[in-house]
Amino acid sequence: MALNPPLRDWPGRRVWVVGASSGIGAALARELLGRGARVAVSARNAAALAALGAELQIALDVRDAHALRDAATRIRRDFGGVDLVVYCAGTYRAMRAGGFDLARALEHDDVNYRGALHLLDAVLPLLLEQGAGHLSLVSSVAGWRGLPQALAYAPTKAALIRLAEVLYLDLRPRGVGVSVVNPGFVDTPLTAGNDFAMPALLGPRQAADAMIRGWEHGRFDIHFPKRFTLWLRVLRMLPDRAWFGAVRRFTGL
């Protein structure tokens, strides 16, 4: 049973992708444009946004709440509303306790989580006024349970998952759909620096296709690739002792 109204018939749908300059966000914008959607894209890199050829290109930093409010106002004016808002902005650097870096940890919080709060401040009034639309937050399977080298990253992604759950409870009765996207490993500039094997690695376009299928089926938790994420879903239910032992055994960390 679908938890959200399915998003289909993409021609003419109004979509705002925040974090669209590279990786999953850029691939998603291209795929939706190819399906006929009206797409607004935002990120810091104006040149990368221009290369996408989207109808609206709004360069901004998600750490700037005022910039997101201004962008939402422009989208309301030019599109007349919005059908799908996707928060895909994120940063990632591997970190362990022995190399804790406060500045980088706070940067993860500012971009991965607080930026999503800035987006909520900008778009919730519009979505609630419409009584329709869909909000999707891109998290990660790293938010499901603790993993090595994710000291700065995983807590912010876990926060996004909880945020999406609470938003669903609040917004779905008011006509607004909510989903959380939990990818496994995707080949992006952020993961390019990993010095460990990344099982079931996907390309950005494959990730974008999986996200779109999830919205088309009305899913709340959109996770992929299933050959990897289904195993993690089972393993995350293990008792703590078993989970910690399994992680150490499989990662060697």
Query: Which residues are catalytically annotated?
Result: 153
Structure tokens at 58: 């709004």
Token readout for 210 is: 């999986």
Question: Using an 8 Å Cβ cutoff, are 155 and 146 in contact?
Answer: no
CB neighbourhood size of 193 (10 A): 9
Is residue 169 packed enough to be buried (19+ CB in 10 Å), middle (13-18) or exposed (0-12)?
exposed
Distance between CA atoms of residues 124 and 10, nearest Å: 22
Backbone angles phi, psi at 3, to 5 degrees: -90, -15
Cα distance between residue 112 and residue 165, in whole Å:
16
SS3 82: coil
For residue 207 the two structure tokens come to: 């990730």
Closest C-alpha to 209, from 24, 5, 6: 24
